[in-house]
Amino acid sequence: MTSPAAAHTIVLARFAADAVLLLHLGFIVFVMLGGFLVFRWPRFALLHVPEVIWGALVELTGKICPLTFVENQLRIAAGTSGYTGSFVEHYLLGVIYPAGLSRPAQYALALLVIAVNAAIYARLLHAATARRCTRP
């Protein structure tokens, strides 16, 4: 039987691991779609562009995101097992790539991140240029 203090620590570690999981998911969504926020608030680009670069680099290099490491350590501290591989591989692989996350698949994900954001920022630049050209 575990002590109340140990049980409390386990619950907190599980909660923290789930919080990191949600943060990680939010990061991925922001990397993919955060450019749309830049339409409304252009200064978001200062935060968004570096995150897009980081997300693409993680996929292109095959590195594991630090958030995955933190989540795994918290899950281990909570008495559950961590997982191997990346966040995408563990949580989204079965949905996106049922056969496994290969290097070519990671390259495809990186290209998707770059292409989606390039299209968003191209639209932003076009809109900004059009506004400048129509000013008296």
Confidence of residue 51 (pLDDT cuts 50, 70, 90): very high
| Per-residue pLDDT tens digits for 52-101 | 999 889 888 888 888 888 988 988 888 877 666 666 666 665 554 446 66
Contact 39/124 with Cβ under 8 angstroms?
yes
| Nearest residue to 113 (alpha-carbon basis) of 44, 10, 32, 42 | 32
- Domain count for the chain, please give it: 1
pTM for the full predicted model:
0.72
Confidence of residue 23 (pLDDT cuts 50, 70, 90): confident
3-state secondary structure of 25: helix
DSSP 8-state code for residue 97: -
* Domain hosting residue 33, numbered range: 4-134
